[in-house]
Amino acid sequence: MHANRHHIGPKAMKAMSRGRFALLAGAALAALLLVASPASAAETLRVGRAVPQAFSFVPIDVGIKYGIFKKHGLEIESSAFAGDAKMQQALAADSIDIALGSGPAMAFIAKGAPIKAVAAFADRPLLLVVAVRSDGSIKTVADLKGKRVSVSTVGSLTYWLVNELSRQQGWGPSGIIATPLGGMKGQIAALKRKDIDGMVTELSTAFTLEKRGEGKIIYRFGDLVKDFHIHVVFATNKLIASRPDAVRTFLKAFFESIGYMRAHKTDTVQVAMGVMEADEDIAGRVYDALMPMFQANGKFDPKALAVLKRSYVELKLLDAAPDMSKLYTEAYLK
């Protein structure tokens, strides 16, 4: 009786085997889902930058390369444009969710662009300088009176900086002749032909011209405008309304990427070399010169906003100074 009570027949054995197999298979599937969940839960954000090769936008590349965005559950689709205006068109067309652009581009919001500035990430315009021919007669800013200095376009940040430099020199806004010539290659060619006396360019180009013996820096705009936001992060109103946590997470990861850049020069220079198409020496010099302009927390400075507000009217981007409080929000900063 005792032996019979514990006897297990063939059918029962098969049933137990099937049950054990199902249990093991279920456990394996659950483990697989746990492993796969971070990747499947990654949220995609389409991020644009105003221009492709500026050091200003290297934080996005650093964050991607070193897994900072991935750590925060974000998958970044990065793209670049030929200036703020083109990028604003992409924002309006819902082709990108987030944009890295200039402070002056906040004027587009006052014109009805469906976006909001959500963080300021670079302040003084350390990126931009005035370069002249190394064999020319211009030695200092005082020699620029009445001279032709190239800028990208009328109404651009570079255009305003030349006018502001002339004004602060006591020559009025047109004491230096701002000459729109479009892209950098055309400006360099015009400088070599002596069609212009100087050019406003970003630092890596100026360093390269110096290294080749073709140009020299005579002025850095970081000395001209102390209170400024040269770069800000924009988010579409659609993203803000539908995925506010994605905005918060992006900003957290983006400023973490800037922090990584401060602590890891070698890693950052390696990334910057590819972005700027520059050698290690140039990329290293740019890193040293420009890291001080990056913000740590994304906050908007009232004095910088006041300068931007004035620039919109002076550039004729707007007929009247806007209410700046309607152009930005700090609600998504930690």
pLDDT tens column, 2-12: 444 445 555 54
What is the pLDDT, as a whole number, of residue 27? 52
State how far the Cα of 263 lies from the Cα of 258, in Å rounded to an integer: 9
> 315 vs 97, 141, 158, 159, 238, CA distance in Å?
27, 22, 11, 8, 29
Query: What does the pLDDT read at residue 185?
Result: 85
pLDDT confidence of residue 97: 96
Q: According to the model, what pLDDT value does residue 2 have?
A: 47
- Which residues is 100 bridged to in the sheet? 49, 233
**Residue range 214-235: mean pLDDT, rounded:** 94
The tokens describing 321, both together, are 């100074």
pLDDT of residue 315: 80
- Exposed/middle/buried for 70, CB within 10 Å: 0-12, 13-18, 19+? middle
Average pLDDT for 50-64: 92
pLDDT, tens digit, for every residue of 191-209?
Answer: 999 999 999 999 999 999 9
Residue 10, pLDDT score: 53
Q: For the chain, which domains are there?
A: 43-124+228-326 (3.40.190.10), 128-223 (3.40.190.10)
pLDDT in tens, 269-310: 999 999 998 999 999 999 999 999 999 999 999 999 999 998
**Closest C-alpha among 244, 233, 253, 255 to residue 115:** 233
136-194 pLDDT tens trace: 899 999 999 999 999 987 777 888 899 999 999 999 988 999 998 877 888 999 999 99
Tens-digit pLDDT profile for residues 61-120 = 999 999 999 999 999 999 988 778 888 889 999 999 999 998 988 999 999 999 999 999
Range list of H helices, 277-328: 280-290, 302-314
The full length of the chain comes to 334
pLDDT grade, residue 56 (50/70/90)?
A: very high
23, pLDDT greater than 70 = no
Strand-pairing partners, residue 46, are 77
Q: How many CA atoms lie within 13 A of 25 on its CB side?
A: 6
